[in-house]
């Protein structure tokens, strides 16, 4: 392996080599078992005599840092100490105040994983995807287009047009690295420092943080059983972020009268609407309402979608459909941030959609998720009904349970954690102090065999009755 050593000026060159190799081992840059360059090769690279390098290596062997192996070479003999990893200096630089976020507490995986927003990776047709990706790799040797592969843009336009009645041509589609990048791009072209952005309360924290990082003044707006309360929108808002198909995290859909009211409000106040249609593909009853984008006649809606839930989060592929007036700026923003999404994955996804694989996959996994949805809702209406109220939801990969006043939600979550169950508190989705609390129960990642066990643990951990929890 290449080993960077700096020798300057006169003096004991062997000692300089010794110290720099030793430091590389102690820092962890050279790991136990790795072969160091032969003395002849390193001497040539450093323009010193071979004897100088040999002296340094002999000292390192004598001190236990290196070991010689007959006929094989010289190798690192010891691992670095646990605290010996090399770190960059603390430094005097400070980030912009817009990036002084407190780290959001995350819910770690557990044996019984009830976190929201996570699909079941075991249901993904990996063999089909591997075949398509292998075929695509040979056809993607160069940089891609910032807006995305034309074939994928056309496939997405057809797919969302058929499944969601979104009005889009291939030119209207911009391929992104997930929905989060889509939100960031929209914010970059619409938000100035101080721009008022209205978000749902409770709502999706990463969206709020993306807008805040761009200098927006984020204002929470309450959600009721019909969706975002349009009458509560601040008159100064110039961007409204909503999840109308399946409000995150409550799960209620925005009614058609409320959708019409929101579009009218945006027209009167000159505002943009960002419609995040994050998991509308999975529906278990009722027909979906028209997206805001499909009934928008003024060109004020940017529609953001993702394949993270339908396929795999690790693929990092999403898209947005934008009015023509925003497209040049969005493409420029995409080029400036990361140039383009990964070409081979885009080509594979285009084939996956065009071959009908996406449609078949969504139908197949929806049946699986519907069974899990029914198990969770049955428990909420049954054994949990004296402690939680189910927020009705007929789509998505989670449901929300509102806690009764006598339920100590933090204690319930802690007990579940001790029982190896991961679940999220509803209070964590509020920007301001939460007026209610409860649990956001995901069922995407947990199998049919484990889900009844997890629901039984939820019953026992939230009950005041004596239990025999582990």
Give me the pLDDT at residue 2, please: 73
C-alpha–C-alpha distance, residues 75 and 68, integer Å: 6
Residue 87: band (very low, low, confident or very high) from pLDDT cuts 50, 70, 90: low
Comparing 210 with 98, the larger pLDDT belongs to 210
Give me the pLDDT at residue 88, please: 66
Reported as a single tens digit per residue, the pLDDT across 165-211 is: 999 999 999 999 999 999 999 999 999 999 999 999 999 999 999 99
- DSSP structure string for 204-230: -HHHHHHHHHTT-EEEEEEEETTEE-G
DSSP-derived secondary structure letter, 295: H
Reported as a single tens digit per residue, the pLDDT across 269-327 is: 999 999 999 888 899 987 778 899 999 999 999 999 999 989 998 889 999 999 999 99
Region 440-460 average pLDDT: 95
Question: Residue 90 above 90 pLDDT?
Answer: no
- Percent of the chain exceeding pLDDT 90 equals 77
Q: ∠451-452-458 over CA atoms, to 5°? A: 90
Comparing 459 with 79, the larger pLDDT belongs to 459
Mean pLDDT of the chain: 92
Reported as a single tens digit per residue, the pLDDT across 17-61 is: 999 999 999 888 898 999 999 999 999 999 999 999 999 999 999
- Percent of the chain exceeding pLDDT 70 equals 94
C-alpha–C-alpha distance, residues 448 and 89, integer Å: 49
DSSP-derived secondary structure letter, 81: P
Range from 70-79, 80-89, 140-149 carrying the lowest mean pLDDT: 80-89
Give me the pLDDT at residue 328, please: 96
pTM, two decimal places? 0.84
CA nearest 254: which of 230, 281, 283, 221?
Answer: 230
Give me the pLDDT at residue 61, please: 94
Question: Residue 104 above 70 pLDDT?
Answer: no
Residue-wise burial string across 201-226, b where 16 or more C-beta atoms lie within 10 A, e elsewhere: bbbbbebbbbbbebbbebbbbebeeb
Region 410-429 average pLDDT: 96
Residue 372, phi-psi category: left (phi > 0), alpha (psi -120 to 50), beta (remainder): alpha
CA nearest 112: which of 428, 384, 417, 414?
Answer: 417
Give me the pLDDT at residue 470, please: 52
Query: The tokens of 291 are what?
Result: 């997206």
CA nearest 355: which of 135, 44, 69, 171?
Answer: 135
Give me the pLDDT at residue 14, please: 92
């Amino acid at each position: 392996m290449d080993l960077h050593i700096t020798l300057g000026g006169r003096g004991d060159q062997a000692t300089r080599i010794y110290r720099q190799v030793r430091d590389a081992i102690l820092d962890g840059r050279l790991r136990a078992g790795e072969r160091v360059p032969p003395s002849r090769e390193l001497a040539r690279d450093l323009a010193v005599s071979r004897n100088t390098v040999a002296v340094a290596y002999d000292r390192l062997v004598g001190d236990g840092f290196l070991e010689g192996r007959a006929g094989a070479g010289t190798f690192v003999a010891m691992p670095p100490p646990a605290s010996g990893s090399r770190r960059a200096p603390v430094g005097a630089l400070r980030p912009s105040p817009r990036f002084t976020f407190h780290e959001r507490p995350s819910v770690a995986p557990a044996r019984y994983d009830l976190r929201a927003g996570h699909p079941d990776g075991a249901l993904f047709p990996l063999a089909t995807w591997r075949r398509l990706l292998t075929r695509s790799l040979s056809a993607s040797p160069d940089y891609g287009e910032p807006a995305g592969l034309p074939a994928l843009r056309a496939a997405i336009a057809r797919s969302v047009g058929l499944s969601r009645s979104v009005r889009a041509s291939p030119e209207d589609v911009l391929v992104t690295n997930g929905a989060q990048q889509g939100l960031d791009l929209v914010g970059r072209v619409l938000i100035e420092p101080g721009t008022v952005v209205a978000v749902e309360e409770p709502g999706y924290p990463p969206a709020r943080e993306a807008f805040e990082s761009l200098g927006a003044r984020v204002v929470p707006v309450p959600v009721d059983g019909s969706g975002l309360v349009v009458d509560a929108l601040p008159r100064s808002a110039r961007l409204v972020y909503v999840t109308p198909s399946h409000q995150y995290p409550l799960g209620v859909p925005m009614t058609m009268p409320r959708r019409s009211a929101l579009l009218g409000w945006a027209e009167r106040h000159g505002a943009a609407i960002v419609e995040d249609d994050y998991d509308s593909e999975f529906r278990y009853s009722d027909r979906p309402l028209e997206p805001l984008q499909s009934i928008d006649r003024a060109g004020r809606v940017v529609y953001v979608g993702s394949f993270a839930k339908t396929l795999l989060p690790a693929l990092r592929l999403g898209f947005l459909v934008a009015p023509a007036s925003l497209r040049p700026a969005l493409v420029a923003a995409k080029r400036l941030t990361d140039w383009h999404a990964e070409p081979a994955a885009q080509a594979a996804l285009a084939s996956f959609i065009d071959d009908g694989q996406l449609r078949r996959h969504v139908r197949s996994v929806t049946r699986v998720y519907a069974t899990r949805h029914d198990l969770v809702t049955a428990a909420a209406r049954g054994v949990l009904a004296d402690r939680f109220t189910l927020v009705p939801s007929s789509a998505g990969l989670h449901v929300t349970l509102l806690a009764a006043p006598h339920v100590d939600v933090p204690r319930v979550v802690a007990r579940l954690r001790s029982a190896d169950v991961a679940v999220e508190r509803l209070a964590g989705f509020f920007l301001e102090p939460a007026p209610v609390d409860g649990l956001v129960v995901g069922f995407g990642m947990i199998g049919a065999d484990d889900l009844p066990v997890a629901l039984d643990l939820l019953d026992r951990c939230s009950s005041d009755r004596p239990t025999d929890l582990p």
